[in-house]
Structures are given as C-alpha cells and as structure tokens.
Structure 1
Amino acid sequence: MKKLILGVALLASIFTGCTSSDDETTATVVTGEITGPITADKTYPLGTYTLKGIVKINSGVTVTFDAGSTITCDKTTGDNALVVVNGGKLNVNGTASQPVVFTEKSGIPGSWGGIIVYGDAPIKAIGGVTTSTSEDGNALPYGGTNATHNGGSLKYVRVEYAGAKLADGTKENNGFTFYSCGSGTTLDHLVSYKGADDGYEFFGGTVSMTNAISYGNYDDAFDWQDGWQGQNNSNWYGYQVNKGNFGMEIECSNNNNAFWPKVTDITLKRASGCTPEVAGDVQVDAFQFKKEGNGDFSNVVIDGYGNYTEASVVYQGAAVKIQDVTTNTDQVNASKIKLTNVKITNTTQVTPVGATAAISVAFPTGQFTTSTTTTGANLTTGAWSTVGGVNLLQ
C-alpha cells in the first residue's frame, strides 16, 4: 500500500512539473485601457489595449510597450493621440515577428492623431527662431540646444489610420510626428499606414530614422521643415497608392541653412491611378524642394510619377521639382541639394525642373547623377511589414 501511494505521488509530481513548464512558455496576453496623463513609469506587457483621449507621457516618465501588443483608438470617443512631452520617453520594443501596432477601430484614414514626440534639439523655424509652438492642437513649445535629446526608442512600430486634427490644431497630424527630437532618440523599422496626412514629419531636430515604410498616406510619404538635420537616415520606402501628393516635401522654413539632412537608400513609388489628396491642388512629384529646402540623397529609386490629368489639363510628374526662385538660387546653385545614383522609371520629367518656366534649374556637376543599377531601399519583409496579409514592400 505504501508503494502504491508513493507511485501515485511520484506521477502527480511529474504531471505537475509538466504543467508548470508549459505555463512558463505560454505568454499571457492582458487587456486594459490607456488614459493620460501618465505621471509615473509604466510598462505595458504583451496585450490588447484601448487608448482613450490625448494621452501625454509627462516629462521624467518612461513608458514601455512589450513586443506584439496592439493598441486601438475609437474616434467616436473624441480626439485620440499618444504624445511624448519633452523630457518623457516612449520605448516600444517590437520585433520583426511581433511588431507593436497602434490603430483605430474604424479603419478610416484620419481617425486619430498618431504618435507625437517632443524634444528640445535645435531648430530654425520661420524667421530663424530657435523655439516655436506646435501646430498639432497641443500647442506645446519645441526647440532648444540639446542636440542629443533622447525621447526613447521606437522599434518595429506600426501606426495606422492617423492624420486627424486635434482640438483646434491648424493642421492634420501624421502617422509619426517629431518635434525637435534629438540624436539620442531611436527610430527604426517603423510603418506609417494609410493616414490622412504625411507618413512622417520632422519639425527640426537632429534625430535620424532607419528602415521606414510610408504606405498609402494621403499627403506626402516623408516631410520636414524647421531645419531638420538628421545625418544617419537609411532605407526609406514610400508607396503612394490611392491618394498622395509628394514622395518627399522638403523645406527649411525660408532659412538658408549651412546644414542639411542626409538620407541613403530611398525608394519612392506611385501606383497607377493615384490621385492628389485634394482636387485642384495638383502635387505629383517625387521630390519637391521649397522655402530653402535642401539635403543629400543617394541610392534613390523613383517610379511611377507620370502624367496626371485633371479637368482636361495634363500635369507632368517630375522626379525633382524646385518650387521657387530663392530655393533654386540658394540651394541648387550653391550645391546644397545633392541627389546621386538616382534610378528613374515611369516618370515624365526625369531631369530636375522648376515649378514655373521662370525657374531654370541646372544642378552643378556631380550634384545630380543617375544610374540604371541603383537598388534603393533594402528592407527585409516580415510580420512588421505586412498588413492584412499584404506585404507592403511588394
């Protein structure tokens, strides 16, 4: 009898051990609601969350999201956005197989404000001022002297259906908006998907971004102003599918700066049938430079920026368009705009042109070169670049 009892006890211990081991390898998915302001450090483990309101991460606070989480807004509840105030940090630890997704319930572009990060890195806004106030409805200050500002680490993050105005903001927000973020901020493997404004917009700062996809955003794939000067940008992929304006809209807020950003390995594509965001406001070029915009771009693929017809008027899409005389004089002629190893297909105007006949564009030798072997962005596909079973990179 004692032997029988001992045997049963042994078997029980074996099965109990197996159950414990299985529990340790099975991740628990939690649910919850995220509201703000967030005033103390917080980690959100793998889960499905509802983000409600304009949630601000306060200065001195770090918020972390674990890989694989989904955070959903509902526009019917009011304005929604995730805002990192200067001094706060957002760490999103997604992976290629388990990205972190921020989305909106209706799946309609322009349904929430996206992710907005503030810093105090250098800017030069209109009039050459070094600080300014945001236009996103938060009306927060940005700009400063902290070139290495650290707003956190965003890795393998997707933002869907953003582009809403917040409160009385003067413009729509983007998938990702960076106000004077510094070089200590990490932006890597990001996706901005089907928003109603730009995929990404930089307002000054020194932050750089690597491995970024802008897919199906209504305005520009990539946009910046206020003297953004990130130097280590690479692997940018923009695909404009239904509505879309410029592949890149580049301006420096009318400041003739001695600095400029640098981006390598770029692909800008425009699908057949893609129309401008607003009828009557035709913007169908891959690169547009205006208001003293400049930059150094290499290994660039441009495809699909062909003719667009509206009200019987044919508009010729351009690989590169210079919008105003001042930008042509100060930036093109002074060799502050450089595009090298550019491969252009299915695009009407393959040489840089001015927006009007009065702007005669002639890049200095070596500042604009083409190639038939350019590869553009080189991104590895995976769950991070797939939405609804569709590979965004195809």
Structure 2
Amino acid sequence: MKKNILSLLSLAVVLSVTSCTVEIREDADINGGGTPSGPTTGAVLSGTGTLTGTLTQNTTVKKGTYSLEGVVKVPEGITLTIEPGATFTAKTSVGSSLVVLQGAKIFAEGTASEPIVFTSDSKKPGDWGGVTLYGNAPIKAINGAIKAISEDGNEVYYGGDQPNDNSGSLKYVRVEYGGKKIGDGTSETNSMTFYSVGAGTTLENLVSYMGTDDGYEFFGGTVNAKNLVSYGNYDDAFDWQDGWSGQNNSNWFAYQTGTGNFGMEIEASGNADNTAPKVNGITLMRAAGTKPENPGSSEVSAIQFKKHGSGIFTNVYIDGYKNTDGKNAYSVLIQDAPTETEQVNKGKIVVSPANHLNSDNLNIWGYTFSGNGGKTFTSDTTVKKVSLIGGAWATVNGVDLLSSLK
C-alpha cells in the first residue's frame, strides 16, 4: 500500500457512514417482513439483504446475494459468520469496505464449489476498499514501535502482545476489484489487508482479483496463510512490513497481467532485528507485455527486499519477468546495503531452491547500490509450480485463474 497521511477533514465523509449502528435490511418476504430470524443473541440474513454501518450484534449471513454499503465494521466482541455461497456486491458510490476490528471475529468459510465472494457493482479495479482484518498480535513498526496507525483511511491503532490472537477464519473467499482510492486521491487500499493479525487466525484458499493496489498486505502480526492466489493486481501481488513473521505459509501463486509491479515487496520498516517469515511453495508468473503502474518504473522484478525485509522461501518458481522500458528485471532485487549486511549475510533472506525461467537476467540477483555485482545461482528444474485445487472459488466470468499452473 502506498503511504498516505489523512487529515480529519478527509475522513469526515467516511466517518459519517460508519458512526451509525448497523442496518440490516432484508426484502419484505424474507423472515416475516424483514425482521431478522435466528437466535435472540444475533441477527440472520437469509438469501438477500444489505449490510451497512457498524454491527451491534452477532450476525450470520446465509447463502444468497447481498449488498455491502459504506464502511461496514465488525467491532470488538462481535462475530460475523458468513456461510458458503454468499455473495456481497459493494456499492462503489459510497466508499464501501469490510473492516473487522481488534477483538472482533469473522468466520467466512466457503468451499471450492461454493465460495464466499466480495465483488463490486461496476466490476472495475479500484471500485471499493476490500476486506481488512485487525488483530492483537505484535508488530515492529518504524523505529521499533509496537503500535502504529493504519494507512487504510480508518486511522485505527494496531499492534498488540498476543502472538496467537484469533480473528476468526477466511476459507475459500474471493475479493474482486479492490483498491479504492483514499485521501489525496493517489493512494489506494489493498484487496485483502491484515493488521497485526495473530497466528490463531486461519487464512486458506483465498483469491485477490484485479485490485489496483496489493493483492495481500501484512502489517506485522504472526498469522499464516495457505493457498493464496493474487491475480491481475496492479501493485504488488504480496507485500508486508512492520515485522510480519508468519512461520507456516505455503502455496502462494501470483499471476501478473497487464499492469503489475513487484511479485513480492518485502520490508521490515527499517528494523534489523526481525523474525524472517517462511513460505514453502511460491509461484510468481508475469504475462508478456505486463508493465508497472508508473511508466519507466523499475518495479519489474519478481521479489524485492528493502528496509531490512527478510524471508526464508523454498520451492520458488519464477516465470516471465522481462526487462521493461530499459529497467532490469531480476529474480531477487536487494534495494539497500543494510538489508544485504543484516539480512542476506546473516541467513535471513533465502530463496532456494528456485527455478527461474522465461525471464531476463536469468539466475541473477540484482542490487541497486554500488559494490555488488549480483548473486548468481543455478536454477533447480525439479521445482515445479504450486498445485492448487480448482473450482468456482478460483473462476471469474468463466475464466479459470489457475489455468497457467497446469
């Protein structure tokens, strides 16, 4: 996500939507004239309805088609449960998003054949703010700060002291057309964002599709993620900062097409003392002719490390990263000398075994500072693309998003 400091004035419109209590609207023929059914301890939407504002009670959403209007917040102590087959269409004219705050939970568990889908009413990249989770796990922000203010337009403090904090579960969830512009009109939200989310949270079989910022961004925390798909996102497919340290991640797939920056952008907010996250099984693919957001930008490499970013990556498959507009594309790009000294040389940056093909500068790491000629390696051709189960969860408008893995 691009950095942005918002003024209170710029937030006025957003806050005017979210400061009210939740309004759950249903058609007159649902649940007896629009009265939510289910247990007295919560509300139930059955088949159709609208979510808007801040939830004030536990809410269950059944299979059906729903509207999402404005910034919908799940506050502390409240649980939002979404059942397989539920589809939410975000209203673009009112800056919609779904935000799960610290101490709240979301259980959105679809299936491969009946995913939970968040889309938009006009089906264009950048339509809405996507899905954001806040947890209470530790972070290490700039200057080692243990708390920071979010950059998603909500200006929420994040960071805590509970590594195993549980914000719920996301399984077989697809988020389409995120990346709503905020603040100065040049910064955007991500499709899926995780602020200080803890390892007790489950993230599995997720798709981020055609957003105008990052597919996934982690701001600190300890959460792990398995079977992630980032398809056609304009900025980076995967991004993290503030010392994210998940240790049990696997099967990440990015397909960059049309517009796309780095496959992975990795930093630790300038903190040399960080815990390197681990990911086993990464496939980064870039379609022919894909260019960065900004013409002439050097953001064309597969994996970038900067500001003490770290990561232990195994079984990495990199395909299609070509020099663009005079800028060199590398399998791995190290942006500054401190990252080389404190992270690479101390074994906190490892990308091996890796298979690097159909790209320029084959089997070379790039450096943007003087004194380094590039680290060479030998591609391991036994490393194959990740394997993911197919189905409706990874199909949009009849297009199989996993077809390039076959």
TM-score by length of 2: 0.85
Q: Is the 8 A contact 1:260 1:336 kept in 2?
A: yes
Q: Does residue 164 of the first structure (1) align with residue 180 of the second (2)?
A: yes
CA distance in 2, matches of 1:234, 1:88: 26
Question: Partner of 1:339 in structure 2?
Answer: 351
1:253-279 CA-to-partner distances (Å, cap 9, x unmatched) read: 000124110001110000001010111
Match of residue 233, structure 1, among 218, 238, 249: 249
- 1:354 is the counterpart of 2:363: no
Say which of 140, 154, 158 aligns to 1:124: 140
**Greater C-alpha Rg:** 1
- Are residues 1:292 and 2:294 paired? no
| Cα shift readout 1:133-168 (whole Å, capped 9, x = no counterpart) | 101100001001110111110000000000113467
Aligned partner letter, 2:402: L
1:274 to 290, 297, 315: 290
Contact 1:123 1:203 in 2 (8 A): yes
8 A contact 1:177–1:202 mirrored in 2: yes
- Counterpart CA distance in 1 for 2:309 and 2:261 is 17
Q: Is the 8 A contact 1:138 1:166 kept in 2?
A: no
> Residue 199 of structure 1 aligns with which residue?
215
| C-alpha distance in structure 2 between counterparts of 1:369 and 1:261, whole Å | 24
Any idea what the Cα deviations from partners look like across 1:311-358, whole Å, max 9, x if unmatched? xxx222100010111111111111110111100111112211202444
Q: Does 1:393 align with 2:406?
A: no
Paired positions, count: 358
Structure 1 counterpart SS, 2:322: coil
Q: Give the residue type in structure 2 aligned to 1:51.
A: L
**Offset, 1:224:** 0.1
Contact 1:325–1:359 at 8 Å: present in 2 too? no
User: Could you tell me which amino acid in structure 2 is paired with residue 152 of structure 1?
Assistant: G
The C-alpha deviation readout for 1:56-101, integer Å capped at 9, x for no partner, is 001000001110111001212x111000010001111200000010
In structure 1, the gaps of 5 or more residues are 1-27
**Paired amino acid for 2:229:** I
Q: Secondary structure at the match of 1:370?
A: coil
Match of 1:379 among 388, 396, 403: 388
Q: CA deviation at 1:282?
A: 2.7
In structure 2, the residue matched to 1:328 is 340
Q: Which amino acid aligns with 2:367?
A: G
Once the two structures are overlaid, the 10-residue window that deviates more, 298-307 or 351-360, is 351-360
Q: Which of the numbers 292, 301, 306 marks the counterpart of 2:322?
A: 306
CA contact (8 A) 2:298 2:328 kept: no
| Distance across 2 between alignment mates of 1:167 and 1:32 | 30
Q: Assess if the C-alpha contact under 8 Å between 2:296 and 2:327 holds in 1.
A: no
The amino acid that maps onto 2:243 is G
SS at match of 1:116: strand
1:316 aligned to which of 320, 328, 344: 328
Q: For the residues of structure 1 that align with 2:379 and 2:146, how far apart are their CA atoms?
A: 37
- CA–CA distance in 1 between the matches of 2:126 and 2:371? 37
Q: Within 1, Cα distance between the matches of 2:145 and 2:185?
A: 21
Partner of 2:263: 247
Q: Residue type matched to 2:400 in 1?
A: N
State the SS of the aligned residue for 1:236.
Answer: strand
**Superposed, which structure 2 residues align to 1:129-208 within 5 Å?**
129-166=145-182, 171-208=187-224
Partners in 2 of 1:342 and 1:257 — Cα distance?
26
Pick from 40, 45, 66: which aligns with 2:57?
40
2:69 to 52, 70, 75: 52
State the partner residue of 2:21: none
Work out the CA distance in 2 between the residues paired with 1:343 and 1:382: 27
